[in-house]
Amino acid sequence: MAFIHHTTLTPSKLELLADWLPAQPWYRGKAGQQPELVKSGGFRLDDPEGEVGIEFMAVTDTSGDRPVTYQVPFTYRGAPVAGADAALIGMTEHGELGQRWVYDGTRDPVLVAQLFALIVGKAEPQMQSTSHTPDPSVSGWFAESGVTTAIASTTVSDDPDGTDLLVETASDGRRLTIHINRVLRPGQDTEGQVLGHVTADAPMPDGTTARTAFAVVHARP
């Protein structure tokens, strides 16, 4: 399980996101308006190799007429990934680990593999800010048992509704779409013909939380 360093990041993750978010197709803010972000939830997953930090962060933008909560899957790496410049959110200086490269995790194969493992029950979600502590508020579900987690290929696309991970499994060539809900709406559920999902608590305007779908899985032709 990952060890969480309680130290400084310069610039902070929220500062990196304030520059990155407005350029995303699913951003709901007004053009030219700077986001005002607060961290409002999330969880972590472990990299089996212990090299890549994996975090699913919920951040709330309070700059508009009503607050909007976004989901940003991050990966943190100690060196740049060749050919991944388009996925780079930014670089930051970690108080103990030194320079870190922060990526949009939907483009990082390590995060995609562990997200799928969570969905099929082969990875355990971890508390966002506490070391070596499972997070029982996060759950994955898949309609079938005995699914292997190895992924042969992934294609990623963004649109105003979120991010689609088009994956093909290595064992049987199964073709799936893992849809990442980038805008988290409290109480967002998993109605419809879904094969799997990840659910967790998301903030409501009154300060409480509601069960919300962070990701849903559909079959594709």
From CA 148, how far away is CA 154, in angstroms rounded?
16
10-residue averages of pLDDT along the chain (221 residues): 60 94 94 90 93 94 91 94 94 76 96 96 90 90 85 94 93 90 81 85 80 92 75
Closest CA to 8 of 134, 92, 131: 92
What span, in angstroms and rounded, lies between the C-alpha atoms of 197 and 136? 15
Say how far apart CA 161 and CA 182 lie, in whole Å.
Answer: 7
Q: What is the 3-state secondary structure (H, E, C) of 94-134?
A: ECCCEEEEEEEHHHCHHHHHHHHHHHCCCCCCECCCCCCCE
Domain map of the chain by residue range?
9-219
- Measured distance CA(173)–CA(151) in Å, rounded: 9
Q: Provide the β-strand partners of residue 155.
A: 166
Q: What pLDDT score does 7 carry?
A: 59
Nearest to 58 by CA among 181, 162, 140, 156: 181
- In this predicted structure, what is the pLDDT of residue 206? 72
pTM above 0.85, yes or no: yes
The pLDDT of residue 10 is 80
Can you tell me whether residue 10 is helix, strand or coil?
strand
Strands 98-104 and 37-45: unpaired
